[in-house]
Amino acid sequence: MAALRPIPVNTPKFWGGEKELVAQCIEDGWISSEGPKVKEFEEAMAKCCTRKHAIAVANGTAALDIAVKALGLGEGDEVILPSFCIISCITQIVRGGSIPVLVDCGDDFNMSVDEVASKITPRTKAILCVHTYHFPVDMRPILELAKEKGIKVIEDAAEMIGQTCMGRPCGSLGDISTMSFYPNKHITCGEGGMVLVDDPVLAEKCSQLRNLCFNPQKRRFVHDDLGWNYRMTNLQAALGWAQLQHLDKAVARKREIGRLYTKLLEGCPGLILPPDQNALNEVNIYWVYGIEVAQGVPVDAEEVMQQLAKVKVGTRPFFWPMHEQPVFKEMGLFKDASYPVAERIARRGFYIPSGLALTDEDCREVAERVRAVMAGICGAGSGAAA
């Protein structure tokens, strides 16, 4: 019997043109953040997201750090965000002395809008909306609430590049929005991120924060504030700019992959598959193909992933909730907190290979192996509830 071919959880797609643009940077000697491709990439991304300003940074975490500090969030300020997210969303909030106020998510994996409203206090200064996995957050009521209360909105659109919400591009909806260009995103620089704003004063603040708070109006090496070296290189920007030219194709391909998986896995015992549309008629972008192990199955996602690893299918677990993170428990945060949906999906959710370089044959191989593993877990023909 032939050995099984490994299928990694992500392989990026290069559409053509990337190599030439990166090589041109080397030939021209422009490899640092001073190179012209950084500005070109910023302008192209701003146009893509209908924003007035874009600030390229080293990664998505850098973009979030800058967003929190640029808004002036500090000691004692409350920031509402989902418990179900990646830790980079909360890091600068905690380090800056602000108070993270968590909410649970719904079955679409996005933050509960009703809970957001119930958590607002006179100390609330910002709401961090994190679009997660498949669909954007229901932004309309959050934006209306924020406007009414005078609260700033940070939009983390890292997983929704090319997605829309309320007929607008994700990345255009916050007072300040952020993106990531890690290799599993719809466009990649290897590493990289972007901050997107309309306010010119906020844009200038973000630009200074990414560059150690050098002030172009003052003598070099004289600083009025503390920032970071979060600059993007010209090499990264060239790769990102080239990738951006193919964003529509990338999104279309992601949806093809997602719909093919659903067709191939429909009726598989023990699995809850993602819908193609949500209640707001937003179309799933399938950043990843996220699956939940049904409650009737006697194992959790960790066991399913271990079984899939044995047949060489790459997987990743869902995020682990912020209120259950050991680092925050040690700090005394979120004592006795419970967010049942986040807790459930963290333990029963995972995703299968979802990279843009997947072929249809890869998807068929993955689905066949997933079906075999689930049949072994549930028992052939057991009909475990999905």
CA distances from 164 to 46, 130, 139, 161, 284 (A): 15, 14, 11, 9, 10
Give pLDDT, residue 385.
46
**Is the pTM higher than 0.75?**
yes
Digit-coded pLDDT (tens) for 180-207 = 999 999 999 999 999 999 999 999 999 9
Buried b / exposed e over 114-148, threshold 16 CB at 10 Å, is ebbeebbeeebbbbbbbbbbbbbbbbeebbebbee
Give pLDDT, residue 2.
72
* Integer Cα distance of 305 and 40 in angstroms: 41
Give pLDDT, residue 335.
94
Digit-coded pLDDT (tens) for 76-113 = 999 999 999 999 999 999 999 999 999 999 999 999 99
Digit-coded pLDDT (tens) for 120-168 = 999 999 999 999 999 999 999 999 999 999 999 999 999 999 999 999 9
* Integer Cα distance of 178 and 153 in angstroms: 11
Looking at the predicted structure, is the pLDDT value of residue 23 above 50?
Answer: yes
Digit-coded pLDDT (tens) for 256-303 = 999 999 999 999 999 999 999 999 899 999 999 999 999 999 999 999
* Integer Cα distance of 30 and 257 in angstroms: 37
Digit-coded pLDDT (tens) for 200-215 = 999 999 999 999 999 8
Residue 251 burial (CB count, 10 A): 22
Looking at the predicted structure, is the pLDDT value of residue 386 above 80?
Answer: no
C-alpha 201: how far from its chain's center?
26
With H, G, I as helix, E, B as strand and everything else as coil, classify residue 252: helix
Give pLDDT, residue 217.
86
Give pLDDT, residue 1.
52
Residue 277 burial (CB count, 10 A): 10
Relative orientation angle of helices 247-265 and 360-378, to the nearest 10 degrees: 30
Task: Give me the sheet containing 53-57, strands edge to edge.
Answer: 53-57, 193-197, 176-180, 152-156, 124-130, 78-82, 99-103
> Do 134 and 109 form a contact (C-beta atoms < 8 A)?
yes
Digit-coded pLDDT (tens) for 232-250 = 999 999 999 999 999 999 9
Token couple for 97: 């002395």
Non-local CB neighbours of 378 within 8 Å, separated by 6+ positions: 269, 270, 297, 384
Digit-coded pLDDT (tens) for 158-172 = 999 999 999 999 999
User: For the chain, how many helices (H) and strands (E)?
Assistant: 13, 13
- Which residue is it, tokens 């475990």? 384
Looking at the predicted structure, is the pLDDT value of residue 381 above 50?
Answer: no
* Integer Cα distance of 344 and 291 in angstroms: 12
* Integer Cα distance of 141 and 119 in angstroms: 14
* Integer Cα distance of 140 and 111 in angstroms: 13
Mean model confidence pLDDT for the chain:
96
Give pLDDT, residue 108.
95
Digit-coded pLDDT (tens) for 314-359 = 999 999 999 999 999 999 999 999 999 999 999 999 999 999 999 9
- How confident is residue 3, by pLDDT bands cut at 50, 70 and 90? confident
Angle at Cα 131 formed by Cα 183 and Cα 66, nearest 5°?
70
Looking at the predicted structure, is the pLDDT value of residue 384 above 70?
Answer: no
* Integer Cα distance of 38 and 240 in angstroms: 9
- Locate all alpha helices (DSSP H) within the chain, ordered by sequence: 18-28, 36-48, 60-70, 88-95, 113-119, 139-149, 200-209, 234-244, 247-265, 301-310, 326-330, 340-348, 360-378
